[in-house]
Structure formats: structure tokens, C-alpha cells
Amino acid sequence: KKYRVWETKKVTTTCPHCATGCQMNLIVKKGKIVAVEGAPGPANEGQLCVKGRFGSHDFVHSPDRLKHPLIKKNGKFEQATWDEALDLIASKMTELKKKYGPNSLAGFSCSRAPNEDNYVMQKMVRTVFETNNVDNCARVCHSATVAGLAITLGSGAMTNTIKDITEEPEVMLIVGSNTTEAHPVIGSRIRRAKQNGCKLIVVDPRETTLAEEADIHLKIRPGTNVAFANGIMNIIISEGLEDKEYIAARTEGYDEIKKIVAEYTPEKVAAICRIDADALREAAIMYAKAEKAPIIYCLGVTEHSTGTEGVMSMSNIAMLVGKIGKAGCGVNPLRGQNNVQGACDMGCLPTDFPGYQKANKPEVISKFEKAWGVSLSSSKGLTSTEVFVAANEGKIKGLYIFGEDPIVTDPDTGHVNNALNNIEFLVVQELFMTETAAYADVILPGASYAQKEGTFSNTERRVQRVRKAVELEGEQRLDTDIFCDLMTRMGYPAHYDSASDIMDEVARLTPSFGGISFERLDRGESLQWPCTYSDHPGTPIMHCEVFSRGLGYFYPAVYKPAAELPDEEYPILLNTGRMLYHYNTRAMTGRSPGINIISNSSYIEINYKDAQKLGIGNHDRVKVYSRRGELETEALVGRKVNEGESFMTFHFPDGNANKLTNAALDEFARIPEYKVCAIKIEKA
């Protein structure tokens, strides 16, 4: 240990990486975090994964942290005062708004930042930019969940709790989730359930750890989830295993979906998904017959040009067998970033005010106009993916990016690069000089999770405290103070005494958060929304008596192939995802020396048969090309992916898969197709 226990204090907070929401103690000595340990929490029971344990503190005190506002002059950043930076932003944004109209401005909020920051950010965009062009990075991970489950169930969130879906079930149906790497603590709970006798059905194009331990692994072709789901439903109906009573009493749209899935015979689906028809039959019957069986899914379902239909297909399966609104069941998306659920809950969406109150409903607009004392726009906002398209067309002139790095995270890097170059005035509020920040006109130094008070909402809708452990350094400011200062300079005086005051405002205006307060959380209460009044206990399992939309809706989904498929010129399918040691852009985990010793460079997984044909050996350097870009990386040759398929992450600057990926968008949620594009590979 680097410290003596009596010289330290412990601050209990929430992990800043994935949306499992593990509780942790930051060990602080002389104003610095010197270690992190697990703390008991409902999701983690004291466990932490490698990212939480070793990747949560080095970055807070990194010498790379931004400490002063910067203004770009003649192509170079120069240190500026807060007055200079904020006056410049206020005058440029006001000028652009006058010249091109409010919808020429947009803001991206930060799914890593607390709820309170996100609430004030969207309030800033709506009150002083006067537009609904506000979004967050859920757009590129789970916007299909938010849209899809809202359509079918009435609420775009996980239906059950982490404890419930990992302790109750007899069978788990896990689709497109590499849980042991992307949500490691949930992954370890699933493995514990397996050891205790729970059966696992894993639907994944790769041989992940859970796939290796599964009772049935359906190694489907990426991009065929809807066909898979319709095949499962075909078998359930053919076997007479559907829950007729539940369907009649609680759902609508069944006749149409029944007609559609009749065409998806096991043999037809096996051919589309490239799996065994008998294994599909066995999986459908195993899932349907189990009393308690949750569907757990992740980005393998959402990140497609048909992602929303993939999500709705998951709820179709669960409703068919009456498995929503019950313990040990449900439809359970594992959200990505620590507070991506919260950024959506707080209204950082172009279509929704906080609590998913619709931005196109006159009564919602007038409620917020009255509360905030301004006129609000009723025009439809753009998603972040649409903002880049609009910027390339010259329609977005001013952009404010809070804690996102789209040059690294968004598909087709070249397209994002052009869009940022086209924007007249770009503000980036960040912890570090990121690749995106380099394009900015003004950079503002914000606060990390360990320097502020607030709350994160984890994947199971649980609102948990974030607590200040160390002081701000240099001229860093609280992000909410920066937003309020800018709002004031743009003619809308704004100020909050504390993060708790912000949550009180959220609770007043957001029915599903009506009973949530710092006072209750600090008393030790553990609250999952909907939590509608001051002594409401929260809602662990949703849709028990009635769906949030009334009746559950069977969406009539038909299979459509991915937007770009392999062909003669680009014969290999590229699938992308995350790995255990790093989190997304590596802005945090990449500053942990220990983690970098284990994992510090890019790779591409390819099948041994393709490698043989191409003369590529394990660990050879290879060049990879798509229609949008190229890169060089290391080949990992084996059986992890099927012949004709490959896999990369976007964590590493030496080989970011997003130089290759396709920005084709889903029609409902505008989520891009990260999981399928066509590439060619050659030995370097």
C-alpha cells in the first residue's frame, strides 16, 4: 500500500466507467486519491472490476488535465481568463443565433457527467440557445433502446434489477452482450448464477467468455437479430408455448406479428443467421418453458441500421411468453456509460424534456416555460448523428460539446472530421485535450467525477450518489457553474447553491423523479425511478400490473439486411465492440499505467481460414481497408469469429475501428451501424 490507513479518509461514490453502478471508496491522502476499493452496493456487493479498481483515480490527478480556459488564436491555443472565454462564447453564440436562427446551434451533453450537470446543460441549450438540438452519446449506443422500448412497453429502460435477473432465473437469454468484458461485475454475477445451476443461452457472433460457458451458443451472423427473434417466436408459437392469457389481457398487435413470424421457419432463420436450426429450436423451447428467464441484451442488438427493430423484437419475444412485469424475467438492456441512463432521464434528447416528457406536446412546453420563465422552441431537434450531417450541409454553425469525443467514438471518422471543420464556432468543455477538443475555438476545463457532488443513474434506473473527494485544480470550475455563468451572460440569469438544489428542481418538474432527493439518498435509501413522491419506495420491477403505455405492443418487425454487406471488393464483415481493460476513448483508463502495461494497442480478430487464404499469421501486422478509411494493426488469428467475419475495438488511436465503420442510421433512433461493415485485409 502507498499509504497508512490513519492518514486517509474514505469517500463513498459511484464508479465512473460502465452503467453497472458499482459503489466504491476513494481513499484520499493529503488531497490526492491514492487507491480505490469496492464498497457494498446493490449492484456490486463490494466487487469492482479492473477498470473500477485501477482505472478510476490516476486520471483525476493526471498532469494532462486541462486547468485553464483556452482560446484558439491563429490556429494555436492560448491561455485565457474565464471572463474572456465566456464573453467570447456568449457573443459568438448570440451572433450566430441572430444571423442563422436558433436551430443553427446545438449542444452535446455528457453521459459520464452527473444528472445535475446534464439537467443544467439541456436547460442551457433550450433556454439560451433556444433550440431542441441537444443530445448525448446514448445516440450511438442505446438510443434504439430508449426509442424501441418506449414504443412497445412505454418506457425505454431496463425492466428489472441486476440482483433480480442474476439471482432468480432458471434460464438467461443473453443477446449481443459481452457482459464479462463490458459490464464485468454483472458478468461475474451471471457466471455465479451459471455455477448455481442457471442455464445460459448466448446469442453472439463471437466466442466470448459467456459463450464458452453457455449451454447453447448461437453464433449468429452480425446484423441478423430480427430474423433470429422471429425464428424464436415462430418456434414458440408452433410448440404452443405462447402465453395466450397474458397476450389477450395485456398486449396488442399479436395477430399481425403471428402472421409475420409464421414465415420465419427454423430452417429459413438458420440460413440467414448461419446457425443450426435444431439449436435454435432447443433455445426457444428452453427459454419459453422456464418460469423465470430474463432477456439481457446490449449493443449487439442496438448498434445496427435496424437497431430499434432489434430492440422491439426482444420485447416481442418476452411478451409472447408473458415474461414482462415478473421477477426474474423482463427485457434488460445493459446501458453503456456510467450515466448514459441519467443523461437521457435528464432530457438531453432532442425529443424529450426531463423524464421523457415529450418536447412536441404543448402542455409539456407550457409547463417548462412557466417553470423556467422563458419561451421555448417547439420545433423538432436534431440528434447528434443528424447534427454532423447538417454541419456537413452548412446548417449547423455553432456547437457546444460537453465531455464527448466524437472524432474517436462516432462512425466514419472522416465524416465527423469534415463536419467539425465546417462548424463556424466550436466549444469543448473537457477534462483533457482530446482529439475533438483540438478542433475547438474555445476549450473550458471542467471537473471530474471525484471533484463534484451529484448523482448517476445506473442501468437498472437506480439513482446513486457521486461525492466530492478532492478539490478542483488550477482554474477548473464545476460544470454546472460554467453553464449557469454562460446562461447569465446570454441574458438568462441562472444560479444554484448546490447539486442538491438542482435535483430538487428536477424532482419538481419530473414526475418519475418526484420523490428523489439527496436527503433520502444520503439517509441510505436506494431508489429506482419511477419514484413519484417523497416516501415512494422506488420501482424495482416495471410493468407489473399494466405496461407504462397501457397495453404492451407487438411491433411487426421484419428482417432487413445491414446497410453494407461484404462483396467481392470488400469481402470480410467487420464487427466492433469493447474489451475488458479499457473504457471507450481511454481518456480515463488510458491514464492508468498498470492497465496500459496489460493492454495498450489495437488488434483485429480474424478467422484462421481467412488468415490462411490471405497468408497472415497470428500477430502479423495487417492493413485493413473499408470504403471510408484504412488503418494498420495486429492480426489475432483463431476461431473467436466465424469465417468471413472480423472484430475490432475503437479504444486505441493506433487502430481505431471507427476509421472504417459505416455511419448508416437507423430510421427510428438514428443510431449508426457500428456492428456491420465491409472490409478487406492484407498483410502489411
Contact positions vs ligand SF4 (CB under 6 A): 15, 17-18, 20-22, 44, 48-49, 51-52, 183-185
In the complex with ligand SF4, which residue's Cβ is closer, 15 or 660? 15
If the CB atoms of residues 59 and 559 are measured against ligand SF4, the closer one turns out to be 59
The residue count of the chain comes to 684
Give 465's strand partners: 455
Shorter beta-carbon distance to ligand SF4: residue 185 or 396 = 185
At residue 278, φ and ψ (nearest 5 deg) are -70, -35
Q: Which is nearer to ligand SF4, 281 or 462 (CB)?
A: 462
Q: Residue 52 or residue 310: which is nearer to ligand SF4 going by CB? A: 52
129: DSSP letter: I
**Those residues with Cβ within 8 angstroms of residue 625's Cβ, 6 or more apart along the chain or in another chain:** 570, 660, 679, 680, 681, 682
* Rounded to 5°, angle at Cα 679 from 676 and 683: 140
Q: How far is the CB of 200 from ligand SF4 (least distance, A)?
A: 19
Least spacing, CB of residue 581 vs ligand SF4, in Å: 11
Distance CA 603, CA 626 (A): 16
Residue with cell 408452433: 238
Q: Which residue is nearest to ligand SF4 (CB)?
A: 52
Helix H or strand E encompassing 427: strand 425-430
The CB-of-22 to ligand SF4 minimum distance in angstroms stands at 3
Beta bridge partners of 678: 573
Quote the least distance from Cβ 463 to ligand SF4, whole Å. Answer: 15
**In the block, which residue shows the cell 409475420?**
260
- 52 or 655, CB closer to ligand SF4? 52
Based on CB atoms, which residue is closest to ligand SF4, 449 or 555? 449
Choose among 134, 147, 157, 225: nearest CA to 667: 147
Q: Kindly state the smallest distance separating residue 12's Cβ from ligand SF4, in Å.
A: 14
Nearer residue to ligand SF4 within complex by CB, 57 or 304: 57
What distance in Å separates the CA atoms of residue 667 and residue 512, rounded to the nearest whole number? 28
Nearest distance in Å: CB 441, ligand SF4: 34
Provide the minimum distance between the beta carbon of 162 and ligand SF4 in the complex, in angstroms, as a whole number: 10
The identity of residue 526, as a single letter, is S
Q: Is the dihedral of CA 460, 280, 233, 563 positive or negative?
A: positive
Return all residues near 244 (Cβ < 8 A) that are at least 6 apart: none
Residue (51 or 139) nearer to ligand SF4, CB? 51
What's the CA gap between 27 and 23, in Å, rounded? 13
CB contact set of 380 (below 8 Å; sequence gap of 6+): 132, 350, 351, 359, 360
Whole-number Å distance between alpha carbons of 370 and 251 = 37
Q: How far is the CB of 387 from ligand SF4 (least distance, A)?
A: 29
Query: 233: buried, middle or exposed (CB in 10 Å: 19+, 13-18, 0-12)?
Result: buried
The nearest distance, CB 596 to ligand SF4, in angstroms, is: 17
The distance of closest approach from Cβ of residue 18 to ligand SF4 in the complex, given in angstroms and rounded to an integer, is 3
Task: Give Cα 35 to chain centroid, integer Å.
Answer: 27
CB of 117 to ligand SF4, least distance (A): 19
Nearer to ligand SF4, 288 or 469 (CB): 469
**Residue that the C-alpha cell 467481392 belongs to:** 568
* 188/379 with CB nearer ligand SF4: 188
Residue nearer to ligand SF4 on the CB measure, 17 or 415: 17
What single-letter DSSP state applies at residue 190?
H
The minimum distance between CB 183 and ligand SF4, in angstroms, equals: 6
**Greatest pairwise CA separation for the chain in angstroms:** 71
DSSP classification of residue 645? E
Give strand pairing partners of 400: 107, 427
Q: Please state, in angstroms and rounded to a whole number, the distance separating the CA atoms of residues 223 and 202.
A: 16
Q: SS3 letters for 509-546?
A: HCHHHCCCCHHHHHCCCCEECCCCCCCCCCCCCCCCCC
